[in-house]
Structures are given as C-alpha cells and as structure tokens.
Structure 1
Amino acid sequence: MQQYHPPIYVLAFCTLLTTLVLIFVGGLVTGTDAGMAVPDWPTTFGDNMFLYPLSQMVSGLLVWIPDDLATNLGQGILTKPIQEALNIDENILSSTSTVQVVEKDQAWKIHDPVANRFYTILRQEDRLGVYVHGVLFEHSHRLLGTLVGLLTIATTISIWIYNSVKQLKWISALALLAVIIQGLLGGLRVIENSIVLAIIHASFAPISLAFFTSLVLLTSKKWSQSPPTTDVSQVHRLAIFASGLIYVQLILGAILRQTAQHLSAHILVAILVAMHIILIVRRVFLDMQTFSGFVGLAMLMGSVVILQMALGIGAWYSEFQLGERMPYMLRTAITSGHHFLGVLLFMLSFIFTLDVLRHPSGETTSSGLSELGQIKSG
C-alpha cells in the first residue's frame, strides 16, 4: 500500500482550502465588477504588491485632490483638471469617463468604460478623497493567489522528497504548473484589460482545483489503504459525465457573468447536471447503501444541486429582471454564492468520480487510480 505522510496531507489540504477561498474571492471580484480595480500587475498602483498599504487596500483610497475641483465635478462632466488629477502612477483616466453627482457638493462617482473602473470622490474637510471601487477584493485576490502558489510549491517539494510514487510526483508537478498558468492568465487579464482572458482565467480555475483535490485524496490515509470491492458499474459513467457537464457549466457561467450572453445554454446544461446528480443519488441509494462514503457524498451533491438551482433562479431574477432595483449587496451575495456553489459541486463530483474509479468492480480494476492507491513506496 502507498505510505501515508501526515505532513504532506496537511499541506495538500491547506492548499485546497486556500484555493476554495481564492475562488470565492474571485467570484466576489467578478460580482462587484472589481476585476480592473487595480490597473497594473504585478505591482499595485506602481507599488510592490506585498508592500501596498493596508489602509489604502481596505479603503480603496487612490489619491487626495484639491477641494477646488469640486466645482468642476459639480458640472457633471469630465474636465481636463479632473482627468489630470486622477492620472497618477499606473492609473489613467480615459476621456470617455462619465461623472455622476451623488450628493451636491459632497459626493461624486466617475465611471471609466475603457478601463472598466469605478471611482467615488468624497469631500473630506478641505480636500477631496478619490476612492477606487473594488481594491480590497482585487488586491486580496492577488495576495491569496500568491499564498496558494507558495503552498503548492511547498506541497510539491514535500511530495518529491518524501514520496516515491511517480504518479503522485507528476500530479503535484502538474498542479504547480496549473497554478503558474492561472497566475499568468490573471496578470495578463489585467494588463490587456481583456474580457476573453477573464473568461479563460475563470474557466481554468476548476482545473487547478481538480489537481489540488486529487493531491488531497492521494495523500490521505484512506487512499493509503486498499478499497473494498463493490459494484460501481451503475455510477461509473454517470460520475464521469456529471463532472464533465459541471465543468462545461462553469465555463458557460464565466461567459454569462462577463458578457451576459448564452443564458439559454447555461440553463440547458444546468438541467442536464441536475438530472445526472439525481440519477447518481438514486443509483447510490439503490445499489450502494452499505458504503457510507458514497452515500454521504451523493446526499451532499444532491443538497448542493437544490441550493444551487435556487440561487440560480435568484441570480437570473436579480441580474436580468430587477437589475439595479435590487440592493447591491444582496445581488452580489446571490450571484457570488451561485458561482461558489457551482465550484463546490464540481469539487464534490470530482471527488465522487475519483472514488468510483478507485474501487475495483468485481474481478476487474476500474482504472489506474485504483492501482495508484495500492503502489508500494520504496
């Protein structure tokens, strides 16, 4: 049997948890239109990303500008003095930006459609504070991404030093490669201000999650032991198709959130996903009741699907029916929750699929995954 190393498992598990948090914050970045809140990469408004002041990260404060510019702002149009005042470091305000008076002589909003960036300007005593919308989420997303990268490096090095199973070593190396690619995609999305790269970046995240999930399972104590023989033929294909459909659904969801297009395809695949999960739950309860691991996962997937569909209806109603009439925070909570539950469902389905592939069915072995769990380390 494969040797169990608790420290490696703990590292892999921490990496997976941090990745889930990273994906959740990434959903908030998209849900709050904060993807371009910080205009440069790998720096933050020209500063070292790791040395950017916490106070400015939390508040989003970009710069203080003279109080006399309030007269220009009060006109509700973008004047050259305002544009020059906001053109600092890596931040460039386009000439097509619009100014909205929120509260006369006190508060204004500026939207830059070219950079997809939002500013709030507040009068504070004898000066005006310019705040960039979404800096907290976007900058936190970058810092969490760095943490995931460091944890992945630590996990990969530990596996290559202390584990002799070649397949596991190469899976950890691929996980590290996936993190590097994901980080570069995120950076290029900012540099190029590209919606296409934003979609690719979001669509690649589940692939990284799948690698980390695999590492957690393969380094766990459970997978160091031989699995019991059980007939998994009834759910073998269902599990694989369910995981594939959920991944397609996540891609369609990324396209929908970025472009507001292909809603019909998103709904259609959602129905197919729900049907596959229902069939899996039915098969597990009919044929595999004695295996608590399968039953627990099936029940959890079924529960997540129900909640996911409820939030999906809520997201459709809030984004395509109510729009700005729904409170901003409630809209963000619904859409971001819907996105995160989709990612969580993918992870649960992927775990279920790997567990099914690991179990020998009758006299035969389902796949190489079952062999991996039984390889003796030297």
Structure 2
Amino acid sequence: MARGLAIVTAAATLVLILFGGLVTNTGAALAVPDWPTTFGYNMFLYPWSEMIGGIFYEHSHRLIGSVVGLLTLALAAALWRRGSTLRVLGVVAALAVVVQGLLGGMRVVLRQDVLAILHGCLAQAFFALLAVIVLLTSARTRAPLARIEPSTRNLALGAAAVAYVQIVLGALVTHAGIVDHHLVGPFAVFVIVPMLTARLRRSGDAVAAPLASVLLALLGV
C-alpha cells in the first residue's frame, strides 16, 4: 500500500509542479485574489464555469495541491506503520506539504515575491523527498546492494546540491529577475552529473546503476 501511495503522490506532485509553472508563466499567479477562499467561495465549491483564463490555471493549481496534501497525509499514515526511516520521512513529507500550502496561500495574501521563491524551491525539494520514499519502498532496496565508494557518495551529494542551487537560481530569475549566476549553473550541472552517472553505472549496484541511466536521460531533457 505504501509503495502505491508513494508513486501516486509523486505523480500527482509532478502534475502540481507543472501547473505551478503554468501559473507563473501565464501570469496567473494572482488571478484569484483571495485565499483560502476563491472569490469568496469555498475553494472546492467554486463554479467550474467560472474557471476561465488565468483563473483556470490558478484555481486548478489549488485543487491539485489539495489532492497532493491529502495523498501525502495518507502516505505518512501508511509509512508510520513501517517504522524506522520511512516513518520519519513520512512525517517530514506531511510537514513539508503543510508548509508548502501555507507558503502558496500567504503568497496570495501578502503578495511578496520572496514567498513565491520559497514556494517554488520547496516544491522541488518536496518532489525529491517523494522520489526517495518511492525508492525506499521498492523491493529492490531490500536486495543486497553493491558497496558505493565514499568518493562517489560525496559526488552524488555534490551533484544534488549543485542541481538544487540551480533550481533556486531559476526561481530568482523568474520572480526577481536576477539572471547573472543562473547562467553559470547549467555548466556546473552538465559537468558533475555525467561524472556521477558514469561512476554509478560502473558500480554495478542494482538500484544506483539503472537510476544513473535515467538521470542522464533527464539531463538531456
């Protein structure tokens, strides 16, 4: 059950992030001026016939976010029974989705760009957390794993850090118009990620080696 919930929650979160991008890129971020209501309506009772233009993107984003929130709480409950690391990750995911919802709502109420930046950055971190949960609930992780060299682990952490910094810089470009450092980030990502994937493929690890190919494909996208 936890495995299926994790996959569904991650997939729904990906859709939510895509809609978040549409909200930003279509200029619909403040198409709905109030929160948690929608033009005074209960958010879940807002007429579908009124969802036109920017309202469609913004209100759909809210509705999908609500679905993700409920799925995350259900996932946290399922992981609680698994104990250990998964229990902790479930609690962190539940807290993160609540904070993410509040950031999105306060962005509308306070109209502060810094909240939009935090909202966008946390979304990517939350999706990464769900990806980890999907991985850890897989049967593959219970099989004997090949030994990963400490240098490879450090490289993986470095690659994750560089990629996330690039995400933060991208948010600064979108919401604050700060472009300079964002232009450097892609070069760092395109150097460190292929180095990491090459090492992981050579490791022969049942989990890391296949994921390395996926990571390299995503880099190309």
Distance 1:292 1:226 in 2: 8
* Equivalent residue in structure 2 for 1:143, among 51, 57, 63: 63
Q: Which residue of 1 aligns with 2:107?
A: 189
Distance 1:54 1:291 in 2: 49
* Equivalent residue in structure 1 for 2:210, among 292, 296, 308: 296
**Is the CA contact (8 Å cut-off) linking 1:172 and 1:211 kept in structure 2?**
no
Q: Which residue of 2 aligns with 1:198?
A: 116
Q: In structure 1, what residue type is equivalent to 2:189?
A: V
Distance 2:89 2:197 in 1: 29
Q: In structure 2, what residue type is equivalent to 1:36?
A: L
Give the match's secondary structure for 1:216: helix
Structure 2 counterparts to residues 97-112 of structure 1, below 5 A: none
Residue 259 of structure 1, CA deviation = 2.2
1:50–1:29: structure 2 CA closer, same or farther, 3 Å change rule?
A: same
Distance 1:200 1:171 in 2: 21
Q: In structure 1, what residue type is equivalent to 2:107?
A: R
Give the match's secondary structure for 1:143: helix
* Equivalent residue in structure 2 for 1:22, among 12, 16, 41: 16
Structure 2 counterparts to residues 219-234 of structure 1, below 5 A: 219-223=137-141, 225-234=142-151
**Is the CA contact (8 Å cut-off) linking 2:28 and 2:54 kept in structure 1?**
yes
Q: In structure 2, what residue type is equivalent to 1:135?
A: I
**Is the CA contact (8 Å cut-off) linking 1:178 and 1:207 kept in structure 2?**
no
Residue 291 of structure 1, CA deviation = 4.1
Q: Which residue of 1 aligns with 2:88?
A: 170
**Is the CA contact (8 Å cut-off) linking 1:234 and 1:283 kept in structure 2?**
no
**Is the CA contact (8 Å cut-off) linking 2:16 and 2:65 kept in structure 1?**
yes
Q: In structure 1, what residue type is equivalent to 2:212?
A: A
**Is the CA contact (8 Å cut-off) linking 2:113 and 2:175 kept in structure 1?**
yes
Q: In structure 2, what residue type is equivalent to 1:236?
A: R
Distance 1:49 1:251 in 2: 30
State which structure, 1 or 2, has the greater radius of gyration over its C-alpha atoms.
Answer: 1
Q: In structure 1, what residue type is equivalent to 2:199?
A: R
**Is the CA contact (8 Å cut-off) linking 2:140 and 2:206 kept in structure 1?**
no
Structure 2 counterparts to residues 163-312 of structure 1, below 5 A: 163=82, 165-223=83-141, 225-261=142-178, 263-285=179-201, 287-288=202-203, 290-291=204-205, 293-307=207-221
1:245–1:294: structure 2 CA closer, same or farther, 3 Å change rule?
A: same
* Equivalent residue in structure 1 for 2:32, among 20, 23, 38: 38
Structure 2 counterparts to residues 69-148 of structure 1, below 5 A: 133-148=53-68
Distance 1:231 1:218 in 2: 17
Unaligned segments of structure 1, at least 5 residues: 1-6, 61-132, 308-378
Give the match's secondary structure for 2:94: helix
Residue 24 of structure 1, CA deviation = 0.8
**C-alpha RMSD of the superposition:** 1.7
Distance 2:29 2:37 in 1: 15
Distance 1:295 1:231 in 2: 11
Unaligned segments of structure 2, at least 5 residues: none
Decide which moves more: 15-24 or 209-218: 209-218
Distance 2:116 2:200 in 1: 38
Detail structure 1 runs of 4+ shifted over 4 Å in the superposition. none
Decide which moves more: 226-235 or 271-280: 226-235
Residue 13 of structure 1, CA deviation = 1.2
Distance 2:147 2:217 in 1: 25
Distance 1:257 1:274 in 2: 21
**Is the CA contact (8 Å cut-off) linking 1:246 and 1:273 kept in structure 2?**
yes
1:143–1:236: structure 2 CA closer, same or farther, 3 Å change rule?
A: same
Residue 303 of structure 1, CA deviation = 2.6
Residue 295 of structure 1, CA deviation = 3.5
Distance 1:22 1:30 in 2: 12
| Structure showing the higher helix proportion among its residues | 2
Q: In structure 2, what residue type is equivalent to 1:221?
A: A
Q: In structure 2, what residue type is equivalent to 1:182?
A: Q
Distance 2:155 2:43 in 1: 45
